[in-house]
Amino acid sequence: MEPFAELRPGIRRIVAPNSSMMTGPGTNTYLFGDKEIAVLDPGPDIKSHREAVIEFAAAPIRWILATHTHPDHSPGASMLAQITGAVVLGRPAPDGRHQDDTFQPDTFLNDGGKLETDEFVLKAVHTPGHASNHVCLLHEDSNWLFTGDHVIDGSTVVINPPDGNMKQYIESLRRVRRLECDALAPGHGELIRNPERAIDWIIDHRLEREAKVAAALAANPCLTTHELVPHVYKDIDKKLYNLAERSLLAHLLKLEEDGDAIVTDGAWKKA
């Protein structure tokens, strides 16, 4: 992936140097505007990345936004705000692990809340699921949606309960699909030019997995989440079982919410 890219006039992308299995090529930091800049998802607090963002901006940074407070998206905000005096917009971290408590927004982003400047308008769309405080940002002129970890390019994201919620995730995907955006600009990977196809693929993939979970539950009643993993994830390496167990729990909790599963003392069965 190109580390620096101008995606269209007034929208630029710079990739943070934090590539890994979970972050793909690294976190995408987006810059909006030419005269006064808004930075979306400053990424982890890495000095070289912060300096690269300031240099690439080439104009005063006035606003900093974060889609959510996972450690690969928002920790860069606090130092960047100190240096530039920018206003921070977003939602603070909920309780729990893997959250960035240093993210302290000056302005809370309500669903539908807008950052309106002379050059562009960004509108917040609350999309809980991957994270309860996740917002996507709609750039109104281009009709592009900046999706953070709600939709990423070429793979699926982790839904880790309790902050991650599969039922909300699928509802938020359907909501985003209804926006009929012209492109999705994800937190990891390249621009997605066919939003409907990408979202349908994710929803289909999740519902297929849910059907496998429901079938495994019917065939193997009264197992714990841990015990159910090999019955559902027959295709994966044992090293990934811990991660798979979090995802399985997310599916089970959705089935429970839908009235299709019951849990008693940690043991699951079909409702």
Binding site for Zn ion (CB under 5 A): 70, 149
Residue 149 Cβ, how far from Zn ion at the closest point, in Å? 4
Q: Output 33 or 129, the one with its CB closest to Zn ion.
A: 129
Residue 173 Cβ, how far from Zn ion at the closest point, in Å? 15
Q: Output 69 or 142, the one with its CB closest to Zn ion.
A: 69
Q: Output 149 or 210, the one with its CB closest to Zn ion.
A: 149
Q: Output 62 or 70, the one with its CB closest to Zn ion.
A: 70
Residue in the shown chain whose Cβ atom is closest to Zn ion: 70
Q: Are 214 and 248 in contact (CB under 8 A)?
A: no
Q: Output 149 or 245, the one with its CB closest to Zn ion.
A: 149
| Buried b or exposed e, range 231-247, using 16+ CB within 10 angstroms | bbbeeeeeeeeebbbeb
Residue 113 Cβ, how far from Zn ion at the closest point, in Å? 20
Residue 175 Cβ, how far from Zn ion at the closest point, in Å? 18
Unique residue bearing structure tokens 């196809």? 197
Q: At what angle do helices 166-178 and 195-219 cross, to 10 degrees?
A: 150
Residue 135 Cβ, how far from Zn ion at the closest point, in Å? 12
Long-range Cβ contacts of 189-196 (<8 Å, 24+ apart): 189/1, 189/24, 189/25, 189/28, 189/152, 189/153, 189/154, 189/155, 190/1, 190/153, 190/154, 191/7, 191/144, 191/153, 192/151, 192/153, 195/145, 195/151
Residue 71 Cβ, how far from Zn ion at the closest point, in Å? 8
Unique residue bearing structure tokens 């399985």? 248
Q: Output 100 or 149, the one with its CB closest to Zn ion.
A: 149
Unique residue bearing structure tokens 């240099």? 55
